[in-house]
Structure 1
Amino acid sequence: MSVESVLHLNFRGEARAALEFYQSVFGGDLAVVTYQDLGNVPDPADADHVTWGQVRAANGFHVMAYDVPSGTPFERGEKSFFLSLRGDDTEEVTAYWKKLSEGATVVQPLGPAQWAPLYGMLKDRFGVIWVVDVASGHHA
């Protein structure tokens, strides 16, 4: 059992360019999944935008990013990151979720998602937004 916390950056249409830039700086592998790839395109303008992406390098550098959907308020520099907590054990991740939830505002309750066995989002009592999930084979 293990968990990993990773900075999850938020953009509007710039996530791919940002991830490619960070890959050029730090090296590593780039992974990108678009809204079109998931078949989740509420606005055609978002089809090629990133719903999940990351750069992971052997030197330890790891960052995730996505493009905030056009129907969701977003201002560059405001809410520009989430802290991603990902693990491979449902019980362990659920226990962390319960502790983080104390005094928090739950944005998305922890539950099954199209891309993960469990996924949830909350704003903790200090205003930090966490995205918590159990890694599936696709995003491990």
Structure 2
Amino acid sequence: MTIQTTTHLNFRGDARAALEFYQSVFGGHVVINTYSDFGMPADLPGADKVVFGLVAAENGFRVMGYDIPGHTEGSITGGGSTRRENGTTVTDQALFVSIGSDTLEELTGYWEALAVDAVVIEPLAASAWSAGFGMLTDRFGVTWSINVTPAQ
């Protein structure tokens, strides 16, 4: 028996833009269904928002997202902030999305794309435990932890 976990992100009105952005970064395909696709009258506020969204790529990347009904302020829920202080990560966020690859070259491309309009917490660089580690909060409020993980 096997299981698969997929991060599910909750947005406040900008799930479509976030999912399309992640698909442009990681490739694969995007599925977006709106509340009106599942029966909400199209003339109601929020009917065009995402009730089910998925990005799935051949490289193993998967993320889901949706817009919380009635919330249109933008930015992911559970926001908060993350920063590096005295060599430690200080945060009040409930989660980070972590990606790893066995090469710095592959991660650098993802990093550069995610870093556009992002807040860089820790620049992507060699660290004591990895050939490359970096952390940033993207324009949608999602914090990414990126790490070179040697093949086993």
Q: TM-score, normalised by structure 1?
A: 0.50
Structure in which a larger fraction of residues adopt helix: 1
Greater relative CO, 1 or 2 (CA 8 Å, sep 6+): 1
Q: TM-score, normalised by structure 2?
A: 0.46
